[in-house]
């Protein structure tokens, strides 16, 4: 349900009663609230998944409970809810020498940055909150709000460690947006449009009509995009800004309670956004891998979400396996390795397409 | 050369910090990310070990020595007991010697596992740490079976041991070794040959051999710099001359000799050598012998002093014991290997980036309990 | 068996081992007397076994001890030839007692001389010998020639000045700081002599035998040694 669809639907019903202004507002609010609810539920699921997946990798059991009483629920399913409640009930401490307005503003900004990218994500055939003509471009653009808010968080905490974290993360995100964007140009070239739904419709058919298999250069673009995306969301091996063993908690050292929760909620939300973009652009979006099998609009949501979750699982897997890169090595990899590879890729795809006329 | 120098910032790492292996405060002067000087401040864990020793009897010193390096208590006991037995000229029987060697080598494996795991944890590799801890738990189970304690054993007494081996000890140890030996290869591959780990540790924190000897660094840190010096072979004590094992030395396989990767390499290979020693010791273990046989009723050493070193997992641990003929020591000084290892941090750590300094600290494998005593 | 009887048996066995059989034979209780005789046999057997082993090792360790004594004496002579008036008091077979004045020069020579080459300072111990005399003991070792020596320097507690050797062996930097911290020995020429294990504003030198803890430290009461502590 796009906002347009809802607007038309509701204005038929209610425009005589309220007038089209409030109807517009209602038709915008409802999908946003649904999206917000989706993000909350998704956050609970992904926190649980991270705990359990990491436990299996580390040969532990993870949160487990017996099912009744005050334990963490059967198989630890209540653990994320317990975590959320704990963060809500924590005392909100603002250091007296911190810059109050900026300190309070930073977590909100970062969440806003993550949330508004959700608005252009396609979940199904006609299930997208705002079917923008420049959907992909928009998502890449608003993803940069995170940079600003991380610098604000680091600076306003009035803490040298946070400053380190903020500076490092700003440099990292800004640098890694470039290879990510260049890899997405490959997709735009092949699909010929920036509209998210049209990119997915271009990949209609079975698995082998996905953009990933279009061209031998595209898998390289996919890998470059995926790794740059991990760097953008500050996950290990690129989690220097929040590296636990070095900088305590990096830019978020002075935050407690719900403010801290916002930072990490937005990290998970960012993970979803970049995985969803990768799934939509490279892996066929809401099409099923075998055309005709489970291919109705309702199943589309299932395919989209499962592809996204698969990529999120790979991100979690990488976090718990690899050590982290140092700041200068990180920058090295971005500017000296990914950028040339992404540029050469564009040329490669273009030449291939022209030569083989696909 | 056109390097822009900003204002120097003075930063405190610790005392409460996830990466400093204990309660240690490092005051660093940084210029941006590059660190120009590191000053360690310690003493947060000072428990007046040496003053206590002057007020208790010789046997009562042994639990104190446990608590100094709590991650390698068996070897702490071993060092003290070897020094005391040389002072009092007591000779223990073979069974005691073999059991002591088995315990010390198992303790060396456990301590190295923790040291390497914590090193990986400092660099961001969360999983190998937990895998190593899982295997270390099995060693601690073996210790618990023998003397009832998992961390602070008070096991080696002057002239013997506190308990003999329980039944089932030999099987349990051999089972553990069979299970554990392939895991060492797994750890070496997972952590040691991982490209990111190699890039973070090779050519970082290079410690030349002369610097190491001058600063009194010993043990795996010294061997990582290419010096082949192991007290078990070069200054032998107990029955180490009956075993056949190699001494791994850093060769600069991934970078320069004496970098962090070499120290890691030496520790992983020492685990393998210890496994060899334990297997040989269990083969040769005499079945008969009373572990309490040579224990004197009252420990009253003759007047005099002694300084004796033994090889603990962190380096050479020395005890300087001065006795005045009564049953409480006049002075016990413990020369701890981690103390000298920490002193070299400024020399090898200055000039690197912040994340490197924590990696270098992790590669030195220090335990604050031993430094502060 | 009661404690008295154990005591009687052990005393009797000890005396018998030294050759006096009367004490055992004079024990009145028959049971105790037989137990004492059994213990004597066991002790004699153990002594025989250990005697056999120890004779071999005694020879070996005796020759080692002789080597060490010779080395100590030659070193002592060398030092007194090169640096006059440095040996303090009578010589001993286990250590070399030096006067504090020339210590830095001697240390440099010990490290750089080709035959001696003491390139590692293993341990530096401070010692309070009572009656206002402090001592600093250095255990030196050569990684090249594998010989070792112990050097002791005595100073009085009123003016405890010893030249610092941290320029020669860098490990002495922290070792001397610790000795200063615990005993108050002032190392002249040390570039950064301050407390290392205790806070910088602690008063007193803890490991001296006449040390009294201060009453309070920054307002926290310092507990004295508790009674009955053993």
Which residue in C50, C150, C206 is closest to B51 by CB distance?
C206
Contact check, Cβ <8 Å, B55/C197: no
Interchain contact, B307 vs C54, CB within 8 Å: no
C170 and B91: CB-CB below 8 Å? Answer: no
B15 — contact with chain C (CB < 8 Å)?
Answer: no
Q: How does the average pLDDT of chain C come out, rounded?
A: 76
Residue with tokens 């020094």, as numbered in its chain = B83
Confidence of residue A342 (pLDDT cuts 50, 70, 90): very high
Return mean pLDDT, chain A: 82
Residue C126: is its pLDDT beyond 80?
yes
Q: A65-74, B122-131, B349-358: which has the minimum mean pLDDT?
A: A65-74
Yes or no, beta carbons of C197 and B51 under 8 Å apart = no
Query: Is the CB of B234 inside 8 Å of chain C's CB atoms?
Result: yes
DSSP class of residue B353 equals B
Nearest-5° Cα angle at C93, C89 to C99 = 30
Amino acid A15: pLDDT: 67
Helix (H, G, I), strand (E, B) or coil at C125: strand
Identify the bridge partners of residue B226 per DSSP, sorted by sequence position: none
pTM assigned to the model: 0.81
pLDDT of residue C68: 67
Minimal-distance CA residue of chain A relative to B197: A323
Task: Name the range with the highest mean pLDDT among A43-47, A99-103, A123-127.
Answer: A43-47
**Least CB-CB distance to B130: which of A60, A323, A328?**
A60
- Inform me whether the C-beta atom of residue B49 falls under 8 Å from chain C C-beta atoms: no
Q: Which of residues 180-199 of B touch A (CB under 8 A)?
A: 191, 194, 196-197, 199
For residue A245, pLDDT beyond 50: no
Is B131 an 8 Å CB contact of chain A? yes
How many angstroms separate the CA of residue C215 from the nearest CA in chain B?
17
* Residue B54 pLDDT greater than 50, yes or no: yes
With a threshold of 0.85, tell me whether the complex ipTM lies above it.
yes
Indicate the pLDDT class of residue C3, thresholds 50, 70 and 90.
low
* A206: number of Cβ within 10 Å: 16
Q: Residue B67 forms beta bridges with which residues?
A: none
Mutate one of A237, A250, A326, A336 to test the B interface: name it (highest B CB count within 10 A): A326
The residue that leads in pLDDT, A21 or B106, is: B106
CA angle centred on A107, ends A95 and B14, rounded to 5°: 45
Query: Does A273 score more than 70 pLDDT?
Result: yes
Query: What pLDDT is stored for residue B300 in this prediction?
Result: 87
- Contact present, C and A (at least 3 Cβ pairs less than 8 Å): no
> Which pLDDT score, from 0 to 100, does residue B1 have?
43
Phi–psi pair at B25, nearest 5 degrees: -115, 125
- Which alpha helices (DSSP H) does chain A contain, by range? 3-18, 20-57, 79-89, 100-118, 135-142, 145-156, 160-191, 196-202, 218-232, 244-247, 258-282, 297-321, 327-332, 339-356
Mean pLDDT of B326-345: 90
- Residue A224, classified by CB atoms within 10 Å of its CB into exposed (0-12), middle (13-18) or buried (19+), is buried
Residue A278 has pLDDT above 80, yes or no: yes
B46 closest CB neighbour out of C198, C229, C230? C198
B336 → chain C, closest CA residue = C123
pLDDT band at B2 (very low <50, low <70, confident <90, very high): very low
Chain B residue with minimum CA distance to A54: B127
B227-283 pLDDT, tens digit each: 888 888 888 888 888 888 889 998 888 888 888 899 999 999 999 999 999 999 999
Contact status, residue A308 vs residue A282, Cβ threshold 8 Å: no
The residue-averaged pLDDT of A38-58 equals: 88
Answer for the pair A247, A164: CB distance below 8 angstroms, yes or no. yes
Least confident interval from A61-65, A82-86, B14-18: B14-18
| Mutation target among C10, C11, C122 for the B interface, most CBs of B within 10 A | C122
Are B and C neighbours with ≥3 CB pairs closer than 8 A?
A: yes
From A160, A248, A322, residue closest to B125, measured CB to CB: A322
What is the pLDDT averaged over residues A100-107? Answer: 86
CA distance B12 to B27: 5
CA A190, CA A24: separation in Å to the nearest integer? Answer: 35
pLDDT band of A107, cuts 50, 70, 90? confident
Task: For residue range C20-77, list pLDDT tens digits in order.
Answer: 666 666 666 666 666 666 666 666 665 554 554 445 555 555 666 666 677 777 777 7
Reported confidence tier of residue B81, pLDDT bands at 50, 70, 90: very high
- Mutating which of B194, B196, B349, B357 best tests the A interface, going by the most A Cβ atoms within 10 A? B196
C-alpha to C-alpha distance for A257 and A264, rounded to whole angstroms: 11
Does C153 have pLDDT greater than 80?
A: yes
pLDDT band with cut points at 50, 70 and 90 for residue A32:
confident
Give the neighbours of chain C: at least 3 Cβ pairs within 8 Å.
B
Distance from CA of C137 to the nearest CA of B (A): 10
Question: For residue A81, what pLDDT is reported?
Answer: 83
- Statement: residue A62 has pLDDT above 80: no
CB nearest to C173's CB, from B43, B335, B343? B343
> For position B175, what pLDDT does the model report?
92
What is the percent of chain A with per-residue pLDDT over 90, rounded to a whole number? 12
**pLDDT exceeds cutoff 80 at B316:** yes
Mean pLDDT computed over B287-313: 86
Q: Per the CB < 8 Å rule, is B131 touching A243? A: no
Of the candidates B220, B12, B232, B19, the residue with the CA atom closest to the CA atom of residue B105:
B232
Confidence of residue B164 (pLDDT cuts 50, 70, 90): confident
């Amino acid at each position: 349900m796009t906002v347009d669809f809802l607007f038309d639907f509701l204005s038929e019903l209610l425009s005589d009663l309220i007038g089209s202004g409030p109807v517009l507002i209602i038709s915008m609010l409802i999908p946003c609230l649904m999206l917000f609810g989706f993000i909350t539920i998704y956050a609970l699921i992904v926190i649980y998944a991270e705990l359990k997946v990491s436990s299996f990798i580390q040969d532990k059991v993870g949160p487990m409970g017996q099912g009744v009483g005050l334990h963490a629920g059967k198989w630890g399913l209540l653990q994320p809810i317990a975590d959320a409640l704990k963060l809500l009930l924590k005392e909100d401490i603002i250091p007296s020498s911190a810059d109050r307005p900026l300190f309070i503003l930073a977590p909100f900004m970062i969440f806003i940055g993550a949330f508004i990218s959700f608005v252009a994500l396609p979940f199904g055939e006609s299930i997208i909150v705002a079917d923008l003509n420049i959907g992909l471009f928009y998502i890449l653009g608003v993803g940069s709000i995170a940079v600003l808010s991380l610098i604000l968080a680091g600076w306003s905490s009035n803490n040298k460690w946070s400053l380190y974290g903020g500076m490092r993360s700003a440099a990292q995100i800004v640098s890694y947006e470039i290879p990510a964007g260049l890899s997405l140009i490959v997709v735009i070239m092949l699909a010929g449009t920036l509209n998210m739904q049209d990119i997915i419709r271009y990949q209609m058919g079975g698995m082998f009509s996905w953009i990933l298999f279009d061209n031998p250069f595209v898998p390289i673009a996919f890998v470059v995009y995926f790794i740059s995306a991990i760097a953008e969301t500050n996950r290990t091996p690129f989690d220097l800004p929040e590296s636990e063993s070095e900088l305590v908690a990096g830019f978020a050292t002075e935050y407690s309670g719900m403010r801290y929760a916002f930072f990490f909620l937005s990290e998970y939300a960012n993970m979803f956004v970049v995985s969803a973009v990768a799934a939509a652009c490279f892996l066929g979006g809401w099409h099923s891998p075998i055309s005709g099998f489970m291919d109705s609009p309702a199943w589309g949501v299932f395919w989209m979400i499962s592809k996204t979750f698969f990529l999120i699982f790979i991100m979690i897997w990488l976090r718990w396996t690899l050590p982290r890169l140092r700041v200068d090595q990180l920058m090295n990899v971005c500017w000296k390795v990914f950028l040339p590879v992404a540029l050469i890729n564009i040329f490669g795809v273009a030449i291939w397409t022209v030569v083989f006329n696909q | 050369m056109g390097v822009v120098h900003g204002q120097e910032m003075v930063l405190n790492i610790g005392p409460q910090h996830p990466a400093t292996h204990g309660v240690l405060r490092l005051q660093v002067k940084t210029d941006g990310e590059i660190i120009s000087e590191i000053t360690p401040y310690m003493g947060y864990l000072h428990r007046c070990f040496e003053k206590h020793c002057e007020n208790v009897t010789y046997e009562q010193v042994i639990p104190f020595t446990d608590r100094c390096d709590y991650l390698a208590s068996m070897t702490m006991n071993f060092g003290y007991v070897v020094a005391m037995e040389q002072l009092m000229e007591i000779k223990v029987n073979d069974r005691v010697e073999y059991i002591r060697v088995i315990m010390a080598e198992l303790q060396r494996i456990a301590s190295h596992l923790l040291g390497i795991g914590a090193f990986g944890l400092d660099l961001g590799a969360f999983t190998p740490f937990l895998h190593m801890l899982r295997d270390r738990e099995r060693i601690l189970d073996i210790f618990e079976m023998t003397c009832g304690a998992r961390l602070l054993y008070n096991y080696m007494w002057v002239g013997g041991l506190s308990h003999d081996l329980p039944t089932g000890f030999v099987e349990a140890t051999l089972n553990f070794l069979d299970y554990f030996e392939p895991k060492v290869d797994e750890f070496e591959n997972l952590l040691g040959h991982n490209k990111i780990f190699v890039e973070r540790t090779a050519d970082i924190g290079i410690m030349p051999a002369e610097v190491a000897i001058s600063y009194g660094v010993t043990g795996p840190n010294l061997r990582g710099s290419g010096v082949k010096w192991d007290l078990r072979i070069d200054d032998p004590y107990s029955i180490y001359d009956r075993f056949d094992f190699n001494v791994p030395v850093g060769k600069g396989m991934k970078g320069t000799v004496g970098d962090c990767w070499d120290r890691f390499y030496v520790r992983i290979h020492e685990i393998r050598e210890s496994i060899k020693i334990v297997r040989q010791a269990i083969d040769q273990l005499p079945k008969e012998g009373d572990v309490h046989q040579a224990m004197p009723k009252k420990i009253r050493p003759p007047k005099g002093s002694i300084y004796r070193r033994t090889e603990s997992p962190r380096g050479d641990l020395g005890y300087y014991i001065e006795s005045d003929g009564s049953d409480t020591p006049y002075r016990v000084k413990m020369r701890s290997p981690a103390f000298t290892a920490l002193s070299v941090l400024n020399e090898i750590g200055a000039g690197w980036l912040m994340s490197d300094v924590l990696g270098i600290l992790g590669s030195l494998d220090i335990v604050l309990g031993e430094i502060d005593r | 068996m009661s404690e008295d009887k154990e005591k009687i048996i052990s005393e009797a066995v000890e005396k018998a081992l030294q050759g006096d059989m009367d004490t055992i034979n004079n024990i009145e209780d028959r049971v105790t007397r037989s137990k004492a005789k059994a213990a004597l046999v066991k002790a004699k057997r153990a002594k025989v076994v250990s005697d056999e082993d120890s004779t071999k090792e005694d020879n070996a360790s005796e020759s080692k001890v002789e080597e060490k004594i010779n080395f100590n004496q030659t070193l002592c002579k060398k030092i007194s030839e090169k640096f006059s008036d440095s040996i303090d008091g009578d010589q001993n077979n286990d250590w070399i007692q030096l006067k504090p004045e020339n210590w830095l020069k001697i240390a440099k020579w010990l490290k750089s001389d080709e035959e001696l080459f003491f390139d590692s300072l293993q341990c530096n111990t401070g010692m309070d010998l009572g009656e206002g005399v402090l001592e600093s003991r250095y255990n030196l070792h050569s990684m090249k020639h594998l010989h070792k020596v112990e050097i002791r320097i005595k100073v009085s507690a009123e003016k405890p000045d010893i030249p610092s050797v941290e320029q020669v062996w860098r490990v002495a930097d922290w070792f001397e700081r610790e000795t200063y911290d615990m005993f108050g020995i002032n190392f002249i020429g040390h570039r950064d002599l301050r407390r290392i294990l205790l806070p910088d504003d602690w008063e007193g030198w803890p490991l001296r035998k006449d040390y009294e803890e201060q009453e309070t430290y920054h307002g926290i009461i310092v507990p004295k040694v508790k009674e009955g502590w053993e």
